[in-house]
Amino acid sequence: MKFVCLNCETYMNFEKVEKPGENTLGVFFGCPSCNAKFSMVTNPGETQMVSSLGVKLGGRTVEAEPFEMTRGTLKAEATAGPSQMAAYLNEKIQGGQPAAAVTAATSGTPGEKSSSGCPFSAMVAEMGLTSSGKPGNAGAATSEFAWSPDAKEKLDRLPSFVKPMVQSSVEAYARKQGYKTITLQVMDDSKNDSSNGTTWTPEAEKRLENIPDFIRPMARKEVERVAKERGMATITAQVMDDVKEKFLKFM
Amino acid sequence: MAIEKDLKAILGKLKYSDDAKVAQQMTEQMRQVQVRMAGIKHKLVVMSGKGGVGKSMTTVNLALAFARQGTKVGILDVDLNGPCVPRMLGLHGQSLTMGPAGAIPPVGPLGVKVASMDFFLDDASPVRWKGPMDVSPAWLGLMEMNVIREFLADVVWGELDYLLVDLPPGAAADKPPVIAGFIPDLAGAIVVTTPSEVASDVVQKSVTYARDMGIKVMGMVENMSEYRCPSCGEVNELFEGNTEAMCEALDLPLLGRIPFDRKLARTFDKGEPLLDETYPTIQRYQDIGGRIRTLLDYKTVLADKL
């Protein structure tokens, strides 16, 4: 924001900001040439946006204090809290009749309706459970494979949004292997089947077991990535050494 | 005196100078956040899809676990409207000490430093901002983000090994991942969930959203896994869920499980946290803390163990 002295055809200088009242600012400018002074007074809210950004009007002249904005904008106490506002409205609009009673009388019927039924039904619905307590059967797609009862049970125990993902990956594996029935064994095997087609020598696989189990999948991916970079389809002890070498540099 | 002046012609003759430098002031704000956080080795955010899963309890106990391992730890409680970290650590009623260099945070048990909105508020009084916040929620959002920025820019943490940031609850459409995006060189996010939450898709949403924001999700902590009856000692499941399967599907490590422990929770409610490291639930937090440290140093672990 700038002002131009039209008489002298020059920018006026920003001089100071004052607070003539709550929610309003007075910004003072002076012409360096004819010495004319004036103050611009903002309407409530007009400068609030800028100060909400923690930005100083007219530019920052002194260093910001710690928590300047937080401390500056926190209300010291509730001056006009909702209860006072309600009292005021009650006085002006309802003519002394308690506002709360009016609200209750008008909203009584619909409120009653919405609160009917089991109090936990909303929670149950939110959790994606049916009233029988089992996960909703959202992902029960028809399958070209026969699932053994135990495998089916394991699949059904999965969260509904995970189920389709797992089902399709297990079935893709089964298709690749030429299986018709999916058993627990097939499910487990499909987990260890690397999607990118890399194979691990027993020696390399054994060395991976030195890694704590919860970061092992991460390590596996990292090793496979390095192998892919070097165009190797089999993870050998050599690849493992290369990865080790790579990470030694970070120590 | 009423001369018709051509403003464009006048301005053309004048040398323009931008005194307010709004963009520069805002760049400076972000630079200050960076400078302030430079002394912190690992910055972690703790988030959840929903509220009430025990995010603050997890944050506080992980901080204590790190501190027990001899590291310097800070907790930033950015839940502006429901700050509870100070109360849990017995720091309620204390305040940040304002000085020329910034705000010095109070120090809680085991040397854990804490910054929280709670330090600006009186008992039982909510956060109330001046200005027409009731006119538009957008205004409030702007305000709150800037308050969070001040928390990141103005607290004198000094040298820290870990800063744990307790984010307000929320999933995709909410702010938490955006807040996390504020933090320079963020090491990653820890997602807290309960087995019941697993049944819905909020966890997946928050994980996906965090990843979209470029935040590395380090792993998941399952809270309220089971309930130990205080009178008979029997352990029962509280909810039905399959966190393991979900972690697998989301390709995330399950960092650990924490039982619902009324005895431990009570000590935090009273602001006199139990610190005994031989206590079983605390040991679980120690294990999770150890796993997080391994994840942060996974390159070293790979170089060492492979």
pLDDT, position B270: 94
pLDDT at residue B271 in the model: 94
Interval B248-277: pLDDT, tens:
888 888 999 999 888 899 999 999 999 999
User: Which residue type is seen at A156?
Assistant: D
- What sign for the dihedral angle of Cα B112, B118, B119, B124? negative
CB contact under 8 A, A73 and B302: no
Across the interface, do B240 and A59 touch by the CB < 8 Å criterion? no
d(CA A14, CA A38) in angstroms, rounded, equals 10
Which region among A134-143, B38-47, B138-147 has the lowest average model confidence (pLDDT)?
Answer: A134-143
Q: What is the mean pLDDT of chain A?
A: 71
CATH architecture of A199-248: Orthogonal Bundle (1.10)
Lowest-pLDDT choice from A133-147, A213-227, B164-178: A133-147
With b meaning 16 or more CB within 10 Å and e meaning fewer, what string describes B64-103?
bbbbbeebbbbbbbbbbeebbbbbbbbbbebebeeeeebb
The verdict on a CB contact (< 8 Å) between B150 and A69 is: yes
Report if residue B213 sits inside a domain: yes
More confident residue, A218 or B166: B166
Comma-separated ranges of CATH 1.10.8.550 domains in chain A: 199-248
Confidence (pLDDT) at A131: 35
Report pLDDT digits (tens) over A44-84: 767 777 777 777 777 777 777 888 888 877 876 444 444 44
B105 contacts in chain A (CB < 8 Å): none
Q: What is the pLDDT of residue B103?
A: 95
Is residue B199 predicted with pLDDT exceeding 70?
no
Q: Calculate what percentage of chain A has a pLDDT beyond 70.
A: 67
For residue A161, what pLDDT is reported?
Answer: 66
Please determine, for residue B70, whether its predicted confidence score (pLDDT) is greater than 50.
yes
Contact between residue B306 and residue A215 where contact means Cβ atoms under 8 Å apart? no
Rounded-to-integer distance, Cα A180 and Cα A165, Å: 19
- Confidence check: pLDDT of A160 > 80: no
CA dist list (Å): B32 to A64, A231, B43, B96, B296: 11, 45, 16, 19, 25
Q: Looking at the 3D structure of chain B, how many domains does it have?
A: 1
Backbone angles phi, psi at A178, to 5 degrees: 80, 20
Q: Which tens digit of pLDDT belongs to each residue from B99-117? A: 889 999 999 999 999 999 9
Q: What local confidence, expressed as pLDDT, does residue A174 receive?
A: 87
Residue A57, amino acid: L
SS3 A4: strand
Q: Mean pLDDT over residues A215-223, rounded?
A: 82
CB distance B184 to B149 below 8 Å: no
User: pLDDT class for A137, splitting at 50, 70, 90?
Assistant: very low
Q: Do B132 and A77 lie within an 8 Å CB cutoff?
A: no
Model confidence band, residue B153 (pLDDT cutoffs 50, 70, 90): very high
* Structural domain contains residue B12: no
Interface touch A212/B96, C-beta < 8 Å: no
Q: Are A39 and A29 in contact (CB under 8 A)?
A: yes
> Does B130 reside within a domain?
yes
Domain contains B59 = yes
Domain at B157, CATH number: 3.40.50.300
Kindly indicate the confidence band of residue A112, based on its pLDDT and cuts at 50, 70 and 90. very low
| Contact list, B248 vs chain A (CB under 8 Å) | 191
The verdict on residue B23 lying in a domain is no
Mean pLDDT along residues B14-26: 81
H helix intervals, chain A: 48-52, 68-73, 82-89, 99-114, 121-126, 149-156, 163-177, 184-192, 202-208, 216-229, 237-248
Q: How far is A118 from chain B (nearest CA, A)?
A: 19
- Best of B32, B182, B220, B306 to disrupt the A interface (most A CBs within 10 Å) is B306
What ipTM goes with this model? Answer: 0.71
What pLDDT score was predicted for residue A157? 79
Owner of token pair 């020059």: A10
Is B159 a residue whose pLDDT tops 50?
Answer: yes
**Position A128: which residue type?**
G
Mean pLDDT along residues A221-233: 83
Give pLDDT, residue A250: 65
- Which of these ranges, A113-127, B134-148, B179-193, B257-271, has the smallest mean pLDDT? A113-127
Question: Which residues constitute the domain of residue B102?
Answer: 37-297
Question: Which residue among B13, B128, B132 places its CB closest to the CB of A78?
Answer: B128
The answer on pLDDT for A116 being more than 70 is no
**pLDDT of res. B3:** 62
Six-digit token string for A85: 């506002």
pLDDT in tens, A173-185: 888 888 888 988 8
As a whole number, mean pLDDT of residues B286-290 equals: 95
Measured distance CA(A189)–CA(A170) in Å, rounded: 9
Residue bearing the bigger pLDDT, B132 or B15: B15
B218 inside domain = yes
% of residues, chain B, pLDDT over 90: 43
The interface residues of chain A toward chain B in range 87-126, judged by CB-CB distance below 8 A, are: 126
Across chain B, mean pLDDT equals 86
In chain B, which residues have their Cβ closer than 8 Å to the Cβ of A243? Answer: 302, 306
Contacts of B283 (CB under 8 A, 6+ apart): B277
- B208 in contact with chain A, both atoms CB, cutoff 8 A: no
pLDDT of residue B217 exceeding 80: yes
